[in-house]
Structure 1
Amino acid sequence: MDNDIQLLTEEANELSHILNRGNIVSAQVQKMEPYEQGFSGASLLRLKVLFADGQQWSFIGKKADLKERMVMRTLTEQGHHHTPAAYCENLTSDEAQWMVEEDLGKQLSAPSNRLQWLNKVAAALAEIHGNNMNRGKEMA
């Protein structure tokens, strides 16, 4: 597990530079509540970090298959604000590997104006898919 934490800390440092947050000086695993574990069955953990400027933040470590790691890298490079930014050094191995993602915080319930919320979700999905339409041959 210590090797996993070291790898995730290195990946978190790379992602923090992509997000212009600076250098990480320390990191520790923080407990996640059962409701935060999601439904995919993937291994997840929260990595709480301290930056050189004294700010604290956290990242989510997730064991993901190659396709998910590649998709998340593409969406991050495209600068989407509808998905968490993600980073993984290993984009070759078919087996599940750790990647690090922005920690977007606790899930909030849908707003009371459900139609307005659904319209925002539909617009976000349309932007993601529209930006990648007919690009399948560019992706592994």
Structure 2
Amino acid sequence: MDIRRIDETISVAPQLSVDDIAEAAKLGFKTLVANRPDSEEAGQPAMADIEAAARENGMEWVYLPVESGNILDNDVDRFDAMIREAEKPVLAFCRSGTRCTVLWALSSARSEPAQDIVAKARGAGYDINGLAPRMAQQASKQS
């Protein structure tokens, strides 16, 4: 399991297996968020199985599927509401962790300076410099 901490409230990861969920709960994660659509790729674990494992391990489960390379403002709105209300820390996953990071960055741009967001993402191993125009657009939607 490749968990990448963005800050004290959220970490991201590539695709998790059902067996990873108990370990994530032991690490203290309270909410598990799936940003990957079910059946996006052959051989991917079923979201229902991951949800069951999350609930069995006392974690909140949030399913916010987003199409890779096509993150809409509505997706950012849903992520923003979720991250504000979720019990923390949150572990979000998708195929590589990038989608989760982009959703976090765009929603965070509503309340944090872009340079801080870029630095946090870089620290987790994600280069989001290309998001500058969209972060500026999201900044106008102060939450």
TM-score of the aligned structures, taking structure 1 as reference length: 0.27
More RCO (CA 8 Å, sep 6+): 2
More strand by share: 1
Structure possessing the higher radius of gyration over alpha carbons:
1
